């Protein structure tokens, strides 16, 4: 072995194996560190994603057949309180939270659009009875709206169903 190499490796060739193991351990440690940093970036490091209000139609079920002409509509919401304009603003200020407050527009056999086209507006309860006078396929679209009637984009659902009349 060259004397220059011996001076760089004071323990001789036998310590070179120990040095390689240390390097391997460091490489493994670095690999785990890189994975941990990547996981924090993927899942976040203490930063919770901003939850948005949601809206789903529970009844009638999509593809179901219901007896008419009175059809029960039931919706389920999260991070949302049913309230008229003034009540929604007061509720948000009182709770100091990002809980949306407002109402839900219900559209029957029409695309969601103008508030005037809604057959009903749910502002106090999560249920309504809708009169459907014709048998056959129908669809309902529900759209959440805040107290100012602006749509809440994360709150939208729809179902198609058949109505049987007596």
In the chain, where the domains are located: 3-43, 54-164
Is CATH 2.60.40.10 correct for 54-164?
yes
pLDDT tens, residue by residue, 17-67: 544 454 455 544 445 554 455 555 555 555 557 789 999 999 999 999 999
Angle at 123 between CA 122 and CA 125, to 5 degrees: 70
Tokens of 113: 């659009």
Rounded to two decimals, the pTM is: 0.64
8 A C-beta contact, residue 143 and residue 156: yes
Whether the link from the prior residue into 69 is cis, omega within 30° of 0, is yes
Residue 89: pLDDT above 80? no
In the three-class reduction of DSSP (H, G, I as helix; E, B as strand; rest coil), residue 132 is classed as coil
Q: What is the pLDDT of residue 28?
A: 47
Mean pLDDT, the chain, whole residue set: 77
């Amino acid at each position: 072995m060259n004397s220059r190499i011996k001076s760089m490796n004071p323990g001789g060739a036998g310590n070179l194996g120990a040095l390689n193991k240390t390097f391997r351990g460091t490489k493994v440690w670095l690999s785990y560190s890189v994975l941990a940093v990547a996981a924090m970036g993927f899942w976040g490091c203490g930063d919770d994603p901003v939850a948005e209000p949601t809206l789903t139609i529970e009844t009638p079920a999509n593809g179901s057949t219901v007896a008419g002409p009175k059809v029960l509509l039931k919706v389920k919401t999260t991070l949302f309180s049913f309230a008229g304009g003034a009540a929604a603003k007061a509720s948000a200020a009182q709770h100091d939270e990002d809980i949306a407050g407002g109402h839900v527009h219900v559209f029957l056999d029409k695309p969601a659009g103008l508030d005037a086209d809604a057959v009903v507006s749910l502002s106090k309860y999560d249920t309504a009875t809708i009169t459907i006078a014709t048998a056959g396929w129908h669809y309902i679209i529900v759209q959440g709206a805040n107290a100012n009637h602006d749509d809440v984009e994360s709150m939208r659902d729809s179902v198609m169903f058949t109505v049987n009349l007596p």
